[in-house]
Amino acid sequence: MTRDIVIVGGGTAGWMAAAMLSRFLERGWRITLVESEEIGTVGVGEATIPPIRAFNSSLGLDEDEFVRATKATFKLGIEFVGWRGDGHRYMHAFGPVGRELGIVSFHHYWRRARALGLAQELGAYSFNAVAAQQDRFGRTLPAGTSLAAPPYAFHFDAGLYAAFLRRYAEARGVRRVEGKVVEAARGDSGIASVRLESGESVAGELFIDCSGFRGLLIEQALGAGFEDWSHWLPCDRAMAMPCAHSGGFTPYTRATARSAGWQWRIPLQHRIGNGYVYSSAHLSDDEAAAALLANLDGEPLGDPRALRFAAGRRRSAWVGNCVALGLAAGFLEPLESTSIHLVQSGLVRLLQLLPSPSGIGAAEVAEYNRQTRFEWERIRDFLILHYKATDRPEPLWRAAAAMEIPPSLADRISLFREAGRVFREGEELFTENGWVQVLIGQGIVPESWHPLAELLSEDELGGFLATVKRQIDHHSAAWPLHRDIVARIAGSPA
């Protein structure tokens, strides 16, 4: 018996779903993707986080070929500029800060050393941050070093990525249907079929809603409901505009705080992606466009493009026989580059809970929704932290600093503030290292440290930090320039 999966939408989410499902459901399933060229895609979304490499490798993609096809560059982290006043900067770099010593995390030693005047800024002990600031990149470190292999991600053109995955999925039998869905016919378990403008009807057992913000199936047909988080994440617009390269070919994303939001800068091979994410209650579209144009590295390429959104998520990402992925499932602003990752993790979860031929079990749906809610809420908290702990004088930022935050985040901040304790909860996305860098970067410096960090003498403590720093500086200086690595890959034959 062949079982039918219908994906509605051919943006990044739709083609990621088609690629992954066609890779893992080789036999017994038929996959159809419906998309409308006339409606088009969101067309932004360029920065990713390290798990994207696991997604690509699970598909068997060759990394260099992927880099060429999507005009990608490499990413070691995100630099935050101006979040604690103009001129202030710190990095949320991927990977560890410092080195483990016993059971106590590095930042406890760092905090004590800082109190004694023996330590530099925290970022000086992150390999990725140090390499990034020198515009250097490498995929590995020499064998024998005690430093962990540095994790990395990519900046890429999301439209080219979707096209790349489309070729992959179609080669594995995914059928693409061009057309506009005008109606969803209801069945016993949710959606029975979708009808296209042409009159054609596409039936399925399982539907994946990748139709973007409109949530054609999950919301319009099934009424999942939307949980609005805009009282915590007040930005509801983005003005996007690419520009020509000029200046540094940085292996990191930059997020610069502005008067009514923040600006992203994402270098690709052929252009720099830029966008101003802002609150429409504090800035008009024209003002945002002018501010963006005034803050580009190079010649603008095209006109500014405005996008509207609301922060939040569908109350249930899986309803009946329909699972929402991508923007159809909700939206969290791109401050920590998590949207494409949420498509990936939703797909992995779906494969783990794939319905058996006897039908869709209520317990499986409930578990999918429970895990999805947890994942989204923890990322939401991480984003809110950036707003809550920002120190700027403008009205948006003053309101954000004064807002009440979710208890889950308030507890985490209190625990950290006291003596630097922070824990990764269950399967939450961001690691202890990520939380530590952003908490300290945003000015929440622990008042004290773990008592075991006292076991080293002052000399030993100073020596430990100096050794770690020496290793980081030595190996990062040996990495080639990011620009040269990308040029070599981009120029090498396909």
Ligand X SMILES: Cc1cc2nc3c(=O)[nH]c(=O)nc-3n(C[C@H](O)[C@H](O)[C@H](O)COP(=O)(O)OP(=O)(O)OC[C@H]3O[C@@H](n4cnc5c(N)ncnc54)[C@H](O)[C@@H]3O)c2cc1C
- Pick the binder of ligand X from 31, 218, 257, 327 (CB under 6 A): 327
- Binding-site member from 238, 283, 413, 439 for ligand X (CB under 6 A): 238
- 347 binds ligand X per the rule CB under 6 A: no
* Residue 210 CB, nearest approach to ligand X (Å): 5
* Of residues 42 and 453, the one with the C-beta less far from ligand X: 42
In 86-138, beta strands by DSSP E = 89-93
334 binds ligand X (CB under 6 A): yes
Helix or strand or coil: residue 294? Answer: coil
Task: Quickly tell me which residue has 């990495």 as its tokens.
Answer: 479
| Residue 181 within binding range of ligand X, rule CB under 6 A | yes
Q: Which of 216, 283, 429, 486 binds ligand X (CB under 6 A)?
A: 216
Report how far apart, in Å, the C-alpha atoms of 147 and of each of 128, 453, 467, 469, 476 are.
11, 20, 11, 11, 11
Helix (H) or strand (E) holding 305: strand 305-308
Catalytic residue flag (residue 180): no
Q: How far is the CB of 20 from ligand X (least distance, A)?
A: 14
Distance in Å, CB of 414 to ligand X, minimum? 30
Smallest distance from ligand X to CB 61, Å: 17
- Report if residue 345 touches ligand X, rule: CB under 6 A: no
Contact track, ligand X, 431-450, x by CB under 6 A: --------------------
Residues 377-416 that bind ligand X (CB under 6 A): none
- The residue to which tokens 């939040």 are assigned: 312
Q: Cβ closer to ligand X: 110 or 264?
A: 264
Q: List Cβ neighbours of 422 (8 Å cut-off, separation of 6 or more).
A: 412, 415, 416, 432, 435, 436, 439
What residue type is 71 in one-letter code?
K
Window 9 to 68, contacts with ligand X (CB under 6 A): 9-14, 34-36, 39-42, 44-48
Identified binder of ligand X from the candidate list 138, 275, 346, 434, rule CB under 6 A: 275
Rounded to 10°, the helix 12-24/339-352 angle is: 30
In the complex, the smallest distance separating the C-beta of residue 17 from ligand X, rounded to whole angstroms, is 9
Residue 12 or 433: the one with the smaller Cβ distance to ligand X is 12
d(CA 376, CA 317): 11
User: Rounded to an integer, what distance in angstroms lies between the CA atom of residue 250 and that of residue 73?
Assistant: 9
Report how far residue 80's alpha carbon sits from residue 254's, in angstroms, rounded to the nearest whole number: 6
Stretch that binds ligand X, among 56-64, 114-122, 331-339, 410-418 (CB under 6 A): 331-339
Q: Residue 399 and residue 128: Cα distance in Å, rounded?
A: 33
User: Is residue 337 involved in binding ligand X (CB under 6 A)?
Assistant: yes
Q: Which is nearer to ligand X, 158 or 422 (CB)?
A: 158
> 């990322």: which residue's tokens?
379
Q: Which stretch binds ligand X (CB under 6 A): 56-64, 212-220, 297-305, 453-461?
A: 212-220
* Region near ligand X per CB under 6 A, out of 205-213, 243-251, 353-361, 387-395: 205-213
Longest Cα pair distance anywhere in the chain, in angstroms? Answer: 78
Task: Identify residues 283-312 at the interface with ligand X (CB under 6 A).
Answer: 307, 309
Eight-class DSSP state of 443: T
339 is a site residue for ligand X (CB under 6 A): yes
Rounded least distance, CB 94 to ligand X, Å: 14
The single-letter code of the amino acid at 131 is A
CA 295 to chain centre: 23
Task: Decide if residue 340 touches ligand X (CB under 6 A).
Answer: yes
Shortest reach from residue 246's CB to ligand X, in Å: 21
Q: Which phi and psi (to 5°) does residue 461 adopt?
A: -65, -50
Binding-site string for ligand X from residue 104 to residue 133, where x marks contact by CB under 6 A and - marks none: ------------------------------
| Closest to 340 (Cα-Cα) out of 286, 398, 379 | 379
| 180 touches ligand X by CB under 6 A | yes
- Residues 196 and 179: beta-carbon distance below 8 Å: yes
Closest separation between CB of residue 332 and ligand X, Å?
Answer: 9
For 472-476, the CB contacts below 8 A with 24+ separation are 472/124, 472/125, 472/126, 472/127, 472/130, 472/147, 473/130, 475/127, 475/141, 475/142, 475/145, 475/147, 476/127, 476/130, 476/131, 476/134, 476/136
Q: Please report, for residues 169, 209, 316, 400, the alpha-carbon distance to residue 19 in angstroms, rounded to integers and kept in the order given.
A: 5, 15, 24, 40
Minimum Å distance from CB 39 to ligand X? 4
Q: How many CB atoms lie within 10 A of CB 271?
A: 19
Annotated catalytic residue, options 71, 75, 180, 388: 75
Q: Which lies closer to ligand X via its Cβ, residue 306 or residue 445?
A: 306
Active centre residues (catalytic): 75
Q: Give the binding site for ligand X (CB under 6 A).
A: 8-14, 34-36, 39-42, 44-48, 158, 180-181, 210-212, 214, 216, 238, 240, 275, 307, 309, 326-328, 334, 337, 339-340
